[in-house]
Amino acid sequence: MEITEIRIKLMDDPSERLQAFCSITLDGCFVIRDLKIIQGTRGSFVAMPSRKLMDRCPRCSCKNHLRARFCNDCGCELHEERAGKADDGRAKLYADIAHPINSECRERIQANVIVAYSLELEKAKLPGYVCTYDDFGEENYATSVEEITYTPMVPHSATTSTATATSSTATTSRPRHTFVNRVAQLEEEGFGSGLV
């Protein structure tokens, strides 16, 4: 298997621990998106694309994150310690969507991605830099109902631009709590070791 292309989306704030999103192409014919490059305490490491594990509310069947204490839909109180345990005994809250099955492959992907990330940082300093990562806007904030409801009565076209301006302001104050917890969990699992 060869990694034939790596695309990087750098994050705006270099002080944040999430340094970039990235996609890799295998043998010129299969793309995996949504890898993350994260600044760990022992250097940058690559996290595989993962999904939050969910379960269903016993009352209304709505899906909730395993750490949710109340159902998002009906408010039913849920048991706090209901998440299954991983092999190391800690709560298993995420599952990788795509991942290497041995450490040799993991290290190879990681080493290639970290090199590509360094090159991307240099490219980004040049005028006319264009990011090649296919961004589907998953990280953007939706416009809330309140933002639209409480906008003063103005012509329709002006309403649209006001809502857009408000939502882009909200992006700068996005909550980091969940992500920081995820970084701590990945580090405990031994990610980032052996990298500079």
Q: Which residues bind Zn ion (CB under 5 A)?
A: 57, 59-60, 62, 71, 73-74, 76
Q: Compute the least distance from the CB of residue 82 to Zn ion, in Å.
A: 14
- Residue 37 or residue 57: which is nearer to Zn ion going by CB? 57
Q: Compute the least distance from the CB of residue 52 to Zn ion, in Å.
A: 17
Q: How far apart are CA 141 and CA 73, in angstroms?
A: 21
The amino acid present at 142, given as its one-letter code, is A
Q: Compute the least distance from the CB of residue 63 to Zn ion, in Å.
A: 9
The amino acid present at 190, given as its one-letter code, is G
Name residues whose C-beta falls within 8 Å of residue 39's C-beta, 6 or more positions apart in sequence. 16, 17, 18, 19
Burial class from Cβ neighbours inside 10 Å (0-12, 13-18, 19+) for residue 45 reads buried
Q: Compute the least distance from the CB of residue 60 to Zn ion, in Å.
A: 3
Q: How far apart are CA 93 and CA 181, in angstroms?
A: 11
Strand, helix or coil at 130? coil
- Residue 26 or residue 76: which is nearer to Zn ion going by CB? 76
Q: How far apart are CA 80 and CA 148, in angstroms?
A: 35
Q: Where does residue 25 fall: left (phi above 0), alpha (psi -120 to 50 degrees), or beta otherwise?
A: beta
Quick one: which of 24, 66, 37 has its CA closest to 195?
37
- Residue 8 or residue 57: which is nearer to Zn ion going by CB? 57
Q: Compute the least distance from the CB of residue 75 to Zn ion, in Å.
A: 7
- Residue 72 or residue 169: which is nearer to Zn ion going by CB? 72
Q: Compute the least distance from the CB of residue 57 to Zn ion, in Å.
A: 3
- Residue 62 or residue 131: which is nearer to Zn ion going by CB? 62
- Residue 68 or residue 163: which is nearer to Zn ion going by CB? 68
Confirm if 77 and 69 have CB atoms less than 8 A apart.
yes
